[in-house]
Amino acid sequence: MRVLVVGAGAIGLLSARLLAEAGAEVCLVDQSVTGGESSWAGGGIVSPLYPWRYSAAVTALAHWSQDYYPRLGEKLRHDSGVDPEVHVTGLYWLDLEDEAAALAWAARMQRPLLSVPIETVRRAVPALASGFSRALHMPDVANVRNPRLVKALRLALLAMPNVTLHERCAVTGFIREADRVCGVRTAGGDIRADRVVVAAGAWSGELLKGLGIELPVEPVKGQMILYKCAEDFLPSMVLAKGRYAIPRRDGHILIGSTLEHAGFDKTPTEAALASLRASAEALLPALAEAELVGHWAGLRPGSPEGVPFIGRVPGYEGLWLNCGHYRNGLVLAPASCRLLADLLLDRTPIIDPAPYAPAGRLH
């Protein structure tokens, strides 16, 4: 089977890898460079920011992925020589308004989320600002160093003889024969395939308009800043008032993020920089003296309730979707891509595919 995957972010890369491992001939195309958009720009927390606020559909993908991530990190490090740094730090939520709902969700889902005294948090995270009074803690939450994850996936794919990668190769349209989609048109020529998988993140909706399909996926801009600190400055992720701090192993600290509806504009703004710096210093006052080494913006693939579209598109034989992961693409990638591969290869799916099916959710 020849499969063409449109979009070489984390979702497209991992989809391609799983299909190629199963013996498919896989061609991967991207309008830019591999993993250069949302996958590169995100924070890489291996959990939804507020998991109890999501539907069971998102939760099912998240839990499967969280359990699988350590194995994925190790396998990619072995296959590519690049360590994606799946870093288990735990996560503290501070002064939540819906703490009771969070604890009830954790009890129902049997997830290790605990109420802890604020003094415990201060001992664990000495850099934390004063003024917080309550905390919840999930000790097993990891973060993944997403630029290294996509680099590892790219190298692992290039080592596979049945994978072809075309970067800077924008798709301009689809090849249709009767009710079948059997490839794409690009500036470099037509590429034909038995199956076409659209995994183009925030651009997926625009692409599908060419087929007359209204996919409710739109770009949602997010800005982040990055500090360089001592390696032991922040031992755990912390989250308060919608903003979070993520420590990397080498002392880099990510602060995020904004939520902006600005079309496909991803220009970093001074207003967002000021807002993010203020949040950073309110959370970790010592960051006022730290070196700010980065500020960027990316585009999330916004979708209704953050539930991705995974599966075949009815009425368009050969066309498949794996897109619309909104804020949780990196969290949900392992399960989403495994589910897509299961469905496309006619295997028993890892979880119930019904909530993600494009049927009934497209216009």
| CA 306 – CA 57 distance, rounded (Å) | 9
As a whole number, mean pLDDT of residues 53-71 equals 96
Instruction: Please count the residues of the chain.
Output: 363
Instruction: Note the helical H segments in 298-360.
Output: 329-344
| CA 43 – CA 284 distance, rounded (Å) | 17
Please write the tens of the pLDDT for every residue from 308-355: 999 999 999 999 999 999 999 999 999 999 999 999 999 999 999 999
Say what the pLDDT of residue 6 is. 98
- Give the Cα-Cα-Cα angle 25, 168, 21 (nearest 5 degrees): 20
| CA 292 – CA 65 distance, rounded (Å) | 32
Q: How many CB atoms lie within 10 A of CB 353?
A: 14
Residue 363: pLDDT over 80:
no
Say what the pLDDT of residue 187 is. 87
The DSSP H or E segment spanning 239 is strand 237-240
Say what the pLDDT of residue 45 is. 96
The mean pLDDT value of the chain amounts to 97
Please write the tens of the pLDDT for every residue from 253-300: 999 999 999 999 999 999 999 999 999 999 999 999 999 999 999 999
- Domains of the chain, with CATH numbers? 1-87+143-216+304-363 (3.50.50.60)
Please write the tens of the pLDDT for every residue from 160-180: 999 999 999 999 999 999 999
> How is residue 189 written in tokens?
């020529």
Say what the pLDDT of residue 260 is. 96
Say what the pLDDT of residue 315 is. 95
Strand 195-198: give its sheet, edge to edge: 163-166, 25-29, 2-6, 195-198, 319-323, 309-312
Please write the tens of the pLDDT for every residue from 30-48: 999 999 999 999 999 999 9
Please write the tens of the pLDDT for every residue from 200-244: 999 999 999 999 999 999 999 999 999 999 999 999 999 999 999
β-partners of residue 301 are 219
pTM, two decimal places: 0.96
- Give the Cα-Cα-Cα angle 71, 19, 341 (nearest 5 degrees): 80
Find all residues with CB under 8 Å of 12, minimum gap 6, and list them.
5, 6, 28, 30, 197, 199, 200, 322
The DSSP H or E segment spanning 100 is helix 99-109
